[in-house]
Amino acid sequence: VPVVVFASLLSMLPAIVWSLLIAKQSWSIVTAVCLSIPLRAVLRIVAEGLRGFHDLKTASAFATQNAGQAAGPVIDLMFLIVLFAMRGATDLSLTVVLWANVAAIAVCLPLPLWALRMRVAALPGDAIGLPSPSLGPLPTRRFIIYDSLAVLISQVCSFAAWYADNFIAKFVLSPDDFGLYTSARYLITTVILPLSLMNMSVISLIPEMMTRGEKSQLEKVLRTSSFVASLPSIIAIILMCFFANLVMSVAFSSSYAAGGPVLAIMALGRLVNAVTATASFVLMMTGNEKIQIILCILATLAMCVAGPIAAWAGGLIAYAVSIAVVFSLFCASLELAVRRSTGIWTHAQIPAFLKRRTA
């Protein structure tokens, strides 16, 4: 409860300030936003609790771990159902969409709560509320809030490092070039979706296996999972590099074919990310979030400096190259930081059984 209240208040304050003072939105919109924040906070905590019990299917169905997307496919489906139901009664607007989002989460939230309660009820009576000797005493509220604040800062910095280029592009590129850049970026985000799904599957194993001292086993799991998840992404990246103009034309229209070179450059820039995969999560889940925060800040600052200079000197192509280089160095530095701080690698490795077959 303290974590939910603390996180909700931190999120509500900027939301209220932005909605009322800057965006000049109505109280109905502000109320919907403020209600959705604690609902999403509870949803996130319940989902992570289910992941702690290795109930990955239920957790991922109701809450993903992608930045900017807290809800899972079940809630997304309920959102569409509510939206279509409200569409028959009123015209669609921002207010209607926000309240449909609140209704969808409120309707679905009891299901993961019930699933978590069943998991806890299945534990032995003496296991509930007792600290594990290997983990030490139970954390205090102060520790929980401090730890949550560190994770919050880490997530904000990660969001900045991953999406700063999009915001910078809006100010340094022409409207036409900005449209081409954001369209290409959308396709790249879709391509790395398998990596996001893989992260949802293995993230709960990281602290558990590290606590048990199973570093070598964890490294094997992470590198094998990275190979499986990165393979479709790498294939898609290669196709985008060779058929960039065609992909842009098919995905959007022939008028977007000019963005083909940008798509190819950005695809190459994401290649390192496709190979390293879980490096950022390993830093965050092993108590090395400070290193991750520093690297994210440095990457964001590098984009803020290199991006505008490149756009001024060479336009859209130069801007895409500068962002691709910075992002590749950022992902590589995360991998090296994991190796230095934990002693393991996370980059993709061909599984042993495949090596034996190809030998």
Q: Are 303 and 168 in contact (CB under 8 A)?
A: yes
Q: Which residue has the higher pLDDT, 11 or 271?
A: 271
Highest mean pLDDT (candidates 240-254, 278-292, 318-332): 318-332
For 64-94, the pLDDT digits (tens) are 655 445 567 788 888 888 888 877 777 777 7
Q: In the prediction, which pLDDT does 7 show?
A: 60
Positions of E strands within 256-297: none
Q: In the prediction, which pLDDT does 6 show?
A: 62
Q: Are 27 and 157 in contact (CB under 8 A)?
A: no
Residue type, 70: A
For 294-346, the pLDDT digits (tens) are 999 999 999 999 999 999 998 999 999 999 999 999 999 999 999 999 888 88
Whether 222 shows a pLDDT value over 80: the answer reads yes
Q: Which residue has the higher pLDDT, 6 or 90?
A: 90
Radius of gyration of the chain (CA): 22
Q: Which residues, in sequence order, are CB contacts of 72 under 8 Å at separation 6+? A: 47, 60, 61, 62, 63, 64
Burial class (CB in 10 A: 0-12, 13-18, 19+), 313: exposed
C-alpha–C-alpha distance, residues 185 and 267, integer Å:
9
Q: In the prediction, which pLDDT does 317 show?
A: 94
Residue-level length of the chain: 359
Residue range 218-225: mean pLDDT, rounded: 85
Q: In the prediction, which pLDDT does 303 show?
A: 94
Q: In the prediction, which pLDDT does 152 show?
A: 72
Q: In the prediction, which pLDDT does 65 show?
A: 56
Residue matched to tokens 């859209």: 316
- Mean residue pLDDT of the chain comes to 80
For 13-57, the pLDDT digits (tens) are 666 666 555 556 677 777 887 788 788 878 888 887 887 787 777
C-alpha–C-alpha distance, residues 325 and 327, integer Å:
5
Highest mean pLDDT (candidates 179-193, 227-241, 317-331): 317-331
Tokens linked to 223: 């590198």
Instruction: Using a pLDDT cut of 70, give the percent of the chain over it.
Output: 80
> pLDDT band at 180, cuts 50/70/90?
very high
Q: Are 102 and 39 in contact (CB under 8 A)?
A: yes
For 112-156, the pLDDT digits (tens) are 889 988 888 887 654 544 444 444 455 555 665 666 677 778 878
Q: In the prediction, which pLDDT does 68 show?
A: 45
Q: In the prediction, which pLDDT does 67 show?
A: 44
Highest mean pLDDT (candidates 76-80, 81-85, 165-169, 212-216): 165-169
C-alpha–C-alpha distance, residues 28 and 25, integer Å:
8
> pLDDT band at 262, cuts 50/70/90?
very high
